[in-house]
Structure 1
Amino acid sequence: MRNHRSNLWLAAGLAVFASAAHAEPTDIIVRVLSKDAKFIGTSMGGMRVTLRDAHTDEVLASGTTQGGTGDTKRLMHQNGGRRASLSDASSAKFAVTLDLAEPRLIEVEAYGPLAQLQAAHRIVSSQWVIPGRGHADGDGWVLELPGFAVDVLSPPAHIKLKGVTTVDVRVNVVMMCGCPIEPAGLWNADKYEVQAIVRRDGSPVARIPLHFTGEISQFAASLPVEVPGTYDVLVYAHDPANGNTGLDRTTFIAE
């Protein structure tokens, strides 16, 4: 019996050794591209990246994209074509080397931007990865994150206001990579719809447009306050050209 058990342990050890011996280093680079903009990197807190085996849910690696937003001219050209290279050496990325003994269907999840959690959300992609044949050449494994990072600056949440007839609503709106928005800019404020959807005590009250303030990426409007109550203000930015949308919200109490 003892010999039998010894043989089993020996066989198991040999199997593990054989698997490890045949594992090949496989390089993977993951980049996250803001929709209609640039790479999401350190300036926006990066994107949290997790690689899993899609069949077993085993976590293979995790980390955060780091680096710059990339070369604007390279990324925002008008006629580069679908095979044009988008990244350069400065472009934010998460890089890892996996030891793979067999082909694996790998799922990559990216969540962020981590410096704007009110705007953060998750994207997932999956691909087969062959040992020794990774995704590190060219741009690597590129995921596109839709949305705008909308940040309500005023009014602050849950503030109580007495005797007011209007409340100033002000927001900061940038691309998910942090790229600025202004009239006639590369990201043109005149082409985006920024509006506030207002409810009072749970009932719809108004939908008002916000206009560019003259400060880069900032939009504002004056909200009439006709009766007391608890106001919920949801502000969204929307690009009619491609459906890109982001939002934030706040509340205030009119007494």
Structure 2
Amino acid sequence: MKKIIIFLLSLFCAFSYAKETKITIRARAKDAKFIGSSLGGAYVIIRNKINNTILAEGKTSGSTGNTDLIMKAPKLRDSSIVDDATGKFLATLNIDEPTFVSIEILSPFNHKQAQAKVSTELWVIPGKDILGDGIILEIPGFIIDILKPRTHQYIALNSITGKPFQIQANIVMMCGCVIDKGGIWDSDKFETKAILNKDGKFLSETNLSWVSTNLFDGSIAMSAPGNYEIVVYAFDPKTGNTGVDKINYVVY
């Protein structure tokens, strides 16, 4: 009986000292805005580094943020780049002592081919909330979806011989921010290309040109049957930001 009482007292003490501690986590696309509901959110996992226990997990939600505030306003040490609607995940941790945690973000959650994992580590003190801008992790890359040709499409050689073979891709920033000619994310400042491989060997490459918002296309010549792979990439020479998508198709 005495042991049971001691055990219950220890449990009571543990719960008595545990304090609810809130942390705001945000995912920001490299050279762009925040990842929120419009892109399906970024997935956040907070773990205790000692035993790898998950303390909180969930997706960011909210808007991509205020474009002028994030991309145009001068940045001072104490200035904020978020507003009340900016996408975030608000985690609530119940900890009873200073805890060293890892914060991991997978984003974009709904676009696996572009998904990147970023993480950081920090101490969290019971009852000491981290709010406001919170913890901001940067997600590098572009989201690229090859639209033409289709994955594993079978194409008759006689239907394309002597004709330009169209390659088309949709390219956006990792927050879903649009790429336009002359826009904040200016298509003219990005290098966008398609690389063509045949039967595992490099064949040729071509530039992709902006057509309309987020849409790029180009053409390439093909004159033989085989197993083909197209690799489309976007590259920003100023920031080093890079994104890639690949598909395979068959010419018979």
- TM-score, normalising length from structure 1? 0.94
Q: Distance in 1 between matches of 2:209 and 2:191?
A: 9
The answer for the alignment partner of 1:149 in structure 2 is 143
* Residue 227 of structure 1, aligned match among 224, 229, 235: 224
Letter matched to residue 169 of structure 1: I
Q: Deviations over 1:72-122 (max 9, x none)?
A: 000002531354311100101111221210000111111121232221121
Letter matched to residue 251 of structure 1: N
Q: 1:230: Cα distance to partner? A: 0.8
The answer for the alignment partner of 2:244 in structure 1 is 247
The question of whether the paired residues in 1 share the 8 Å contact of 2:116 and 2:140 is answered with no
Q: Distance in 1 between matches of 2:242 and 2:169?
A: 15
The answer for the alignment partner of 2:200 in structure 1 is 202
* Residue 174 of structure 1, aligned match among 172, 175, 183: 172
Whether 1:20 aligns to 2:15 is: yes
Q: Distance in 1 between matches of 2:218 and 2:59?
A: 36
2:15 alignment partner, SS class: helix
- TM-score, normalising length from structure 2? 0.95
1:140 alignment partner, SS class: strand
Letter matched to residue 25 of structure 2: V
Q: Distance in 1 between matches of 2:30 and 2:3?
A: 54
Letter matched to residue 219 of structure 2: S
* Residue 117 of structure 1, aligned match among 112, 123, 142: 112
Q: Percent identity?
A: 37
* TM-align CA RMSD: 1.2
The answer for the alignment partner of 1:3 in structure 2 is none
Moved over 4 A (4+): none
Q: Distance in 2 between matches of 1:180 and 1:141?
A: 25
Structure 1 unaligned regions, length at least 5: 1-5
Structure 2 unaligned regions, length at least 5: none
Q: Distance in 1 between matches of 2:183 and 2:207?
A: 20
Q: Distance in 1 between matches of 2:74 and 2:115?
A: 30
Letter matched to residue 216 of structure 1: T
- Of residues 160-169 and 123-132 in structure 1, the stretch that sits farther from structure 2 once superposed is 160-169
Q: 1:146: Cα distance to partner? A: 0.6
1:76 alignment partner, SS class: helix
Q: Deviations over 1:121-156 (max 9, x none)?
A: 2111111000111211x2011111011111111110
Q: Where does 1:20-59 land on structure 2 (aligned, <5 Å)?
A: 20-59=15-54
